[in-house]
Amino acid sequence: MKYALKRIFMLVLTMVIVSFLTFLAFELISGDPAEAMLGTEATPERLAALREELGLNRPFLVRYASWLAGFVSGDLGVSLRYRQPVWDLIAPKLEITLCLCLASFVLITAVSIPLAIWSYRWTGTVFEAVRTAFNQLCMAVPPFFTGILMTYLFGIVLRLFVPGDFPDLHTRFGEAMVHLFFAAVCLGIPRTAMTVRMMRSTVISEMQKAYVRTAISRGNDRHAVLTRHVLKNSLTSAITFLGQTMAELIGGSVVVEQVFGIPGLGRLLVYSISTRDYPVVQTVVVILAFWVVLAGTLADLINQQVDPRLRLGGAA
């Protein structure tokens, strides 16, 4: 429990640092927001008035504090491009991207763990060569390419979804999920292959350990050695790896959203960067950072439940 609190404190601290650095960086690169909003022909008087209104004349730290307070309370400023509150702009996109990433994550986890066990069992059989080749293929082919193939096959030929025409997530949830499913598969294939490979080698190295010999000496068969001892011991590295996977998925989703025509965060981000819509970009950067830190924290907290050795110092 103490450990969990410590970990959550670390998360908050990291986020404060990240947000500060982000705020600082955007201060440096974005120039004068008043000028950006009014354009170059604005009169000096109007610029001064807007600066006053936006609070740009206050000291840097004060502005940071008020931005942070706004962030926490959901007031993220106004998009320069759309003249809409940033949160209203981001929320529906974030929803879609989260659905995509979570679907992909669930697929990766559900598929890779059984596959890893199978592929371990196939060691030394004719399947092994086939498995290795297939695994490498899955890792090597980039998601945008499988994405193109899948939009063609499932979208255009089989008409299971309409590429580029994403159904509304709230009113046509089922259809939207079908659309997302194929994108999630594309996004998940390379990471699934990596997870399988990583888990397989963890299981193999665990199998060499002395406790396995003890387990066999007690009369456990191969299956029991695996299920009762080795899998649990392999779990912590799998969870750490899956945590990294979860963190990386959101980055990978940008490309996949483009291929499948999904109006998620990725598209908004690309558009906002190209139009220098800094309030939007700034917010997305912080959200992405939060996602990454959250994934790592969750993985650590789960691992600590699995492995009592990690509870040292936090148990009492």
Partner 1 sequence: MLEIRDLHVKFHNRDREAVAGISLTIGDGEIVGLVGESGSGKSVTAMSIAGLLPRKQCDLSGDILLDGEDLLHAPRSALRQIHGRKIGVVFQEPMSAMDPLMKVGEQVGEVLRIHTDLDKNQRRARVLEVMEAVDLHNPEEVYNKYPHELSGGMLQRAMIAAAIVIQPALLLLDEPTTALDVTIQAQILELLKKLNAEQGISMLFISHNLNVVRKLCRRVAVMQRGVLVEEGSTDRVFFDPQHPYTKRLIDAIPTRHGKETV
Contact mark string toward partner 1, 232..251, x via CB under 8 A:
xx------------------
Question: Is there binding between residue 313 and partner 1 (CB under 8 A)?
Answer: no
Question: Is there binding between residue 3 and partner 1 (CB under 8 A)?
Answer: no
Half-sphere exposure of 99 (CA within 13 A, CB side): 23
Question: Is there binding between residue 213 and partner 1 (CB under 8 A)?
Answer: yes
Stretch that binds partner 1, among 98-106, 112-120, 212-220, 253-261 (CB under 8 A): 212-220
Longest alpha-carbon distance in the chain = 87
The correct pick among 41, 45, 53, 221 for binding partner 1 (CB under 8 A) is 221
The correct pick among 44, 219, 223, 316 for binding partner 1 (CB under 8 A) is 219
Stretch that binds partner 1, among 68-76, 238-246, 252-260, 307-315 (CB under 8 A): 307-315
Which C-beta is closer to partner 1: that of 58 or that of 213? 213
The correct pick among 211, 227, 251, 273 for binding partner 1 (CB under 8 A) is 211
The correct pick among 218, 223, 313, 316 for binding partner 1 (CB under 8 A) is 218
Which C-beta is closer to partner 1: that of 52 or that of 128? 128
Q: 260, 67 in Cβ contact below 8 A?
A: no
13 vs 297: CA distance, rounded Å: 12
Residues in the chain: 316
Question: Is there binding between residue 309 and partner 1 (CB under 8 A)?
Answer: yes
Question: Is there binding between residue 316 and partner 1 (CB under 8 A)?
Answer: no
Q: 275, 81 in Cβ contact below 8 A?
A: yes
Contact residues toward partner 1 (CB under 8 A) are 209-211, 213-221, 224, 228-229, 232-233, 306-309
